[in-house]
Structure 1
Amino acid sequence: MQQYSGKNKEEFVHGVFSTIAHRYDLLNTTLSFNRDKYWRRFAVAQGGLQPGGSALDVCCGTGMLSIELAKKLGDNGRVVGLDFCENMLAKAVENVAKTPYKNRIEFVQGNAMELPFADNTFDCATIGLALRNVPDIEGCIAEMRRVVKPGGKVISLELAKPSAPVFKQLYYLYFERLVPLLGKMGVGQDGPYQWLPDSLKQFPHQSVIRDIFSRTGLKNAFYHELTGGIVAVHVGTK
């Protein structure tokens, strides 16, 4: 398993997601057994968002979490989705165009490590299934905290490490053996979906991510484990 960090990781991840953008949503739903929709709804529900508020979706990918945020914020709400991958943003624009929320969501190309927004801009900042992919987890969370208003929430929805015996072994067997194979069938080439199990191995346990939230100055940091602990939703308050 190759290790990636810093600029090297950014370039590698950009290449992965540029390759899989056209099949990303279908494969997410398939590989999660259609649980990804529930995970996004649950994550957004932790934000305490009110109609007319604002939210930033960091590493927004194909915009599915951005759409969920827009549903919560209502007609006068504002969502900004940010991603550094052109192909993923193009797919996000296409996805949002099919919804009633296209006038409430703006997409911006940018880097999660240097968010192009002023301090205290948004009521909430989310990152969905992408914290594993940033070159500096603590730096990314700190940037999200910076752009959130006092009292606002920073939320991460991410793959986690289940602990239940038997289920844990079955999950890792599926994730390490079948996911790359199914991903290869979906995108037509080796490689891109091998990043999923590899990146999870390198990613800290959910309790460590909670501690990172606290270190950046977020208060009352906690997490929920969903679907047997295969994903975790972390929440912290500025």
Structure 2
Amino acid sequence: MTGKEEYVRGIFNAIAPRYDLLNTILSFNCDRRWRRFTVAQTGLKPGYKALDVCCGTGMLSLELARAVAPDGQVVGLDFSPRMLEIASSRLANDPNGHLVRLVEGNAIDLPFPDNSFDCATIAFGLRNLPDIKKGLAEMRRVVRPGGRVVSLELAKPTLPFFKQLYYLYFDYLVPLIGRLGVGLDGPYSYLPRSLKGYPHQAEILQYFRELGLDNARYFELTGGIVAVHVGIKR
């Protein structure tokens, strides 16, 4: 495991108990709508099989489970044991939780055979990977031909004025709210840094195309503060 992976894993283990609450607060409760929009792009139907990479506390995994119910399957993979513990508790209290199987593993070395899933998703995890292209390539590898690779991630808004307000919020208020929420300085100071080093959504689209994902496109949501990328495996 690389230095970045160890660092990020430590962060997510530390913030796991408050992760969902803070996501809702920091996104002004938009995160639920973002996840639902993401699932709508997957092409999933009842009986399908989906992989949720960097599944965290299982919020997107459960949205996927609703799409494949009553007899489909979702595998949620994450490298943070603490996040998976929270996910396990959530699944136990949801009527579709039995459709989700949790696996501890690495996003850039997925422990699954080629062509295993009808879709692979990742939500707010791509920018944390030590090698974004390799992570996307692994997702493409495990999806069957005709299946989709879908990413929901923070993006870089371009609208004048809104862009400046957004970065003021992200650079100053997000670390403050995060520190109050988890009692630690580091985790939510890392968040704005991780976005600044992350490619623009147009560049991520190019990665999708370079991997041979057909009909690759992206959707900017909520003024472009997040983007959903979609591509179909040939």
Q: 90, 95, 98: which is aligned to 1:95?
A: 90
Q: 79, 82, 96: which is aligned to 1:84?
A: 79
How far has the Cα of 1:130 moved from its partner? 0.7
Q: 38, 47, 50: which is aligned to 2:45?
A: 50
How far has the Cα of 1:26 moved from its partner? 0.2
Does residue 236 in structure 1 map to residue 231 in structure 2? Answer: yes
Corresponding position of 1:63: 58
How far has the Cα of 1:195 moved from its partner? 1.0
Does residue 199 in structure 1 map to residue 187 in structure 2? Answer: no
Gaps of 5+ in 1: 1-5
Per-residue CA shift, 1:101-148, capped at 9, x if unaligned?
121000000000110000000000000011010000000000000000
Query: Which amino acid is the alignment partner of residue 89 of structure 1?
Result: L
How far has the Cα of 1:167 moved from its partner? 0.3
Corresponding position of 1:170: 165
Whole-Å Cα distance in 2 between the matches of residues 29 and 219 of structure 1? 33
TM-score (norm 2): 0.99
Corresponding position of 1:218: 213
Whole-Å Cα distance in 2 between the matches of residues 181 and 130 of structure 1? 22
Whole-Å Cα distance in 2 between the matches of residues 120 and 221 of structure 1? 19
Structure 1 residue runs of 4+, over 3 Å off? none
How far has the Cα of 1:96 moved from its partner? 1.2
Q: 127, 132, 136: which is aligned to 1:137?
A: 132
How far has the Cα of 1:179 moved from its partner? 0.2
Per-residue CA shift, 1:62-97, capped at 9, x if unaligned?
000000000111110100000000000001001111
Gaps of 5+ in 2: none
Whole-Å Cα distance in 1 between the matches of residues 5 and 211 of structure 2? 22
Whole-Å Cα distance in 2 between the matches of residues 202 and 98 of structure 1? 37
Whole-Å Cα distance in 2 between the matches of residues 102 and 223 of structure 1? 29
Whole-Å Cα distance in 2 between the matches of residues 141 and 74 of structure 1? 26
Counterpart secondary structure, 1:203: coil
Corresponding position of 1:7: 2
TM-score (norm 1): 0.97
Q: 155, 159, 162: which is aligned to 1:160?
A: 155
Q: How many residues align?
A: 233
Whole-Å Cα distance in 2 between the matches of residues 169 and 102 of structure 1? 41
Corresponding position of 1:127: 122
Whole-Å Cα distance in 2 between the matches of residues 103 and 74 of structure 1? 10
Counterpart secondary structure, 2:63: helix
Counterpart secondary structure, 1:144: helix
